[in-house]
Amino acid sequence: MDEQKTVVVAGGGSGIGKAVARACAQAGYAVAVLGRTGARLDATRDELVALGARSIAIVADLADEPQVERAFAEVDRFSPRLDVLVNSTGVFAYRPVTEMTLETWDRVIASTLTAPFLCAREAFRRMQRQRSGRIINIGSTSAKRVRPDAIAYSAAKHGIWGLTQSLALEGRPHRVNCTCINPGRVSVERVHLDGCDEPAMSVDEFA
């Protein structure tokens, strides 16, 4: 019998990440969901278990290196292999450049670029050893077409595109594939909280 494949979804407690985790569970994967909010992660895990999947919820600040290392060590205990990482972390902050504080800039970059880097690095180490794996970064059309008042988010998503290309190049000799999906606007809670009302697809349509 083939060994069950395992996916880690960073940012799996809500929005796109939760929808992707649900789709992976329905496809037969064991699913580890990572993120900062325990209640949301637990709710996602319970939903996946109800679908018949093996699942674990791991609480961690994914922009914090030691916490990410501990989270992936817990993934190691959950499953002997890691087949797919989906990076779906990020926050918005719509501000003109003259009103963008360093604190807000750092918060957006940490969640939207640093967290995916740290998770990708941990996943890459494991995939390199097993000589297989796939890293999927959730980017944005903001990596190609900037929006007004979105300087930090656009910069971070440009960074995700560069991160993806570098990982793909480094991964090729090790059979580690890295791709970036750049959706348009997706209807998630944080979009509405930041006051942007452009039309958006649902998370389930995206997943």
Catalytic residues: 153
Instruction: Tell me the DSSP string of 49-68.
Output: HHTT--EEEEE--TTSHHHH
- Write the burial class of residue 197 (CB in 10 Å: 0-12 exposed, 13-18 middle, 19+ buried): exposed
Bridge partners (DSSP) listed for residue 30: 6
| Torsion angle in degrees (nearest 10) through CA of 95, 101, 106, 111 | -30
Cα distance between the two ends of the chain: 28
Cα 120 to Cα 189: distance, rounded to the nearest angstrom: 25
